[in-house]
A and B are shown apart, each in its own frame.
Chain A
Amino acid sequence: MSVQTQRAYRAVGPLLAFPVGAGKEVRIGTLELAVFRTSDGGVFALENRTPHRKGGPLAEAIVSGHYIYCPLRDLKISLRDGMVQEPDTGQARTYPVKIEDGCVHIEVPE
């Protein structure tokens, strides 16, 4: 758990490229992310893969507040920590996001 990997923020595009209330697929190298911009202005990045054991993408989810509903099986997932809400279980990987000069930056492993 405590293995140190180098992480760095990567610029992925202007805030305007991310529509409010919807998800957007972002690929950084081979890493596939689903990035959501919520109605309160927040931007969240998750791995673009549902924690459901049968798999599938997340970027096409319905967004509500700080939660999304997985497009294939309707799991409710928190954007803050990726936790799947009851009664389903699991956790999607999350990545820190910061917005600087109108640009979205996501922290990913180097």
Chain B
Amino acid sequence: MTGTNNKRRKLVLIGNGMAGINALEQILKLTNAFEITVYGEEPYPNYNRIQLSYVLEGSKTIDDIILNSREWYEENGIALHTGTKVARIDTAAKRVHTEAGDNAAYDVLIIATGSKPFVLPIPGADKKGVIGFRDIADCEAMIGAAGRVKQAAVIGGGLLGLEAAKGLVQLGMDTTVVHLMDTLMERQLDQTAAGLLKAELERQGIKFRMGAKTVEVLGGAEASGLRFEGGEELDAQLVVMSAGIVPNAELAKASGIETGRGIKVNDYMQTSAPDVYAVGECCEHRGVCYGLVAPLFDQGAVLAKTIAGANTAPYEGSSVSTKLKISGVDVFSAGEYLDAPDHRVLRIHDDWRGVYKKVLLRGNQIVGAVMYGDVKDAPLLTRLVREGDAMTDELYADLFGGGSGCCGGGGTKSSAVQSMADEEIVCGCNGVTKGDIVRVIREDGLSTVDQIKVKTGATRSCGGCKPLVEQLLQFVLGDEFQAKEETKQGICGCTDCTRDEIVAAIREKHLTNVREVMAVLDWRQPEGCSKCRPALNYYLGMAWPTEHEDERDSRFVNERLHANIQKDGTYSVIPRMYGGVTTSDQLRQIADAADKYGAKMVKVTGGQRIDLLGIAKEDLPAIWEELGMPSGYGYAKALRTVKTCVGNRFCRFGTQDSIGMGVLLEQKFERLWMPAKFKMAVNGCPRNCAESGTKDLGIVGNDGGWEVYVGGNGGIRMKEAELLCKVKSDEELVDICGAFIQYYRETGNYAERTSDWLERIGLEQVRKLVIEDAENRKALIARVETALAKLQDPWREVVESGKLQQAYYHRIEVARD
């Protein structure tokens, strides 16, 4: 706009939240003509307010929901003042004054002060323990109250109130939602959907008091309960006010800018004062104040173009849709949601599947929708309602199943994305537009959701827009997309080859190092990435155990250095203690080494071993030498430990020598590289004290022999191990273990634990090849023996090799004059 003038104009933003920062991001995409200053009251950089409920629920941390790090502000040359409140705007002198007494001039001012919870005007509302649910401080207050507070009340059964209540239940509080109306979320849901929702939330532990008007908060200085109209009372030491929001318009109002409920703006987000704009929940557009995220992106786009001097269509309001963010509860609504006499109502309600879907038409025009249970059509319906599209036979078939498909997923759904405008937001969390996504598909040749996630960030946060991104891929690539999705699932972005194709090529073409594999299979990135390099190194070692030279530089740090890197850059050292058995001499040695090398902590691990934490990298070879024990592989995709119970050597219940067997198995299979970490246990009797049920390979002794359990997992996805077979003799047991391990090594995907592997391959198949087919078992055992023959203790190798120490453990120090 001021093309010849080098002086950059001053842009001041009041409000460091999603609306304001999104507007800045859009402005920065268009122009760098501004010198930008941001004032925020909260002490944090911009975070994803929508995801506060995840923080409360415990599934995300505050760090996880930060959208723009402080570095982002720096990189974009933005001066950020957090914890700073603007007290006054002088619209005549074009200057803002902070509460602390500073002031700054502006050429353009954006107000994005958001909204605050509506606090009921009742006695006691100012007591301690009465809070809103709006920002990180509220979240922290609720988390802080956990343990101290037994009963909590949430006033308001709307979107935010329910999310807060779920969080409080999760924090262990007896939580009651107090709602004025008889149905929940009455501004988004009809009675049927609200009823389904309430039943589900009750199942999840939330209590409800419906049709209750709160007239007083009881208690002394601190809240102790609520009193309702009619005199009934409810005990609650924490009260969350969630009965609506109020735009933060006081600053604007006090500065003489025209306000109604919010700061009044026209279709270009201009306020009544010259060069002052407002955006987001603080503003009022055509009489409407929005409290959801989608409109602020729409508004931000218009605002950015207006300020940058680009052409833009006027903002004409947003059609809003709602999704509740509680794990395991899917509700959605868009547009009109209550049946009226002039509506045609399309509805399915299936109590068996717990699914409810309703679409409202006026004439043929789609004007609203409500869904519960299955919300995969949410993006499509959002779109249809916003555009006021007409219902057609094809659409009906898509939404309600029609003649062909059974669940309404039959037809092609490109129609919904086809008519979207390029600047329309697809990913609300990261502000990615349709145009952005279409461009990377066309120009960068991307063909999967994952690639698009990496490039643009879309689907990265809540994942809600994944169906839309898939539809865009379908729309842009057509049949090519189907073909690519079905046949081409390469192991990483460097190749289209699957794991099986790669292993086949390694075997057939006799490839023996990583570089060869990449060259022969036409890797897109000549030296691969952190996903494929370690995987290839494993497959090569598995296929050619005697020929392949392990490639250290293709291993992750832990397996390269044979110690576990910690977040501060120090390492943990876990020496091997077979079967979890140690001696007093060994303990003294460990204690001395811990002292000598300044271990920050000494801890017993979950697998019955001793862990020395906080060891410096350059001390690793020396501490290993001092310990004189082999590596315990507590860092590797290999056998971690064989956990044992005391067994018949001491235990009065023991029927088998679990310690003897555990030591034998650990000595036999230690150091063997596996697709993923591998945990074992041996128990001397069915009491199962060493917990075989959650191990990759768990053994339970009884009077007549051993039972072998496989595929258990106690980690991210709990899974109980399944009985593979029963054997009578120790020799047979060792054979079966060897054959099972080798079969897993040969067929597992890199990083695939036995629990997932077993699900994929099937127990029957494993039984057939490892137990029933004796010939095959013999061959598997022979191959595992070959692989085992070559292995040596890696710590000893480093202790004895000055070259390895020099290359991987020593640092170079240069004095500074």
Contacts and interface: CB of A to CB of B under 8 A. Distances in A.
B90 to A, nearest CB: 31
Contact of A56 (B529, B568, B816): B568
Interface residues of A, number: 41
B102 interface: no
B814 A64 contact: no
B75 A91 contact: yes
Contacts of B812: 12-13, 17, 24-27, 35
B811 A29 contact: no
B94 interface: no
Contacts of B617: 25
How many B residues touch the partner, as a band?
35 or more
Contacts of B353: none
A27 B816 CA distance: 9
B807 interface: yes
A93 B654 CA distance: 61
Interface string B804-817: 00111001111110
Contacts of A63: 527, 553
A45 to B, nearest CB: 11
Nearest to A73: B567
Interface string A16-45: 010101101111111100010001000000
Contacts of A59: 811
Interface stretch (B371-379, B453-461, B721-729, B791-799): B453-461
B529 A55 contact: no
Contact of A65 (B527, B552, B556, B806): B527
Interface in A49-70: 51, 53-57, 59-65, 69
Contact of B454 (A65, A87, A89): A87
Given A53-B69, A55-B567, A71-B557, A28 B816 contact: yes
B653 interface: no
Nearest to B452: A87
Given A24-B811, A26-B814, A60-B561, A69 B529 contact: yes
B811 A27 contact: yes
B567 A56 contact: yes
Given A12-B812, A21-B553, A62-B556, A87 B457 contact: yes
Interface of B: 63, 66, 69, 71-72, 75, 453-457, 460, 525-530, 533-534, 552-554, 556-557, 560-561, 565, 567-569, 617, 806-808, 811-816
10 contacts: A17-B812, A25-B811, A27-B811, A35-B812, A55-B567, A62-B553, A72-B567, A87-B455, A89-B69, A91-B75
Interface of A: 10-13, 17, 19, 21-22, 24-31, 35, 39, 51, 53-57, 59-65, 69, 71-72, 74, 76, 86-87, 89-91
The 9 lowest CB-CB distance pairs between A and B, nearest first, are A29-B816, A69-B530, A25-B811, A60-B557, A64-B527, A71-B557, A57-B569, A21-B553, A26-B812
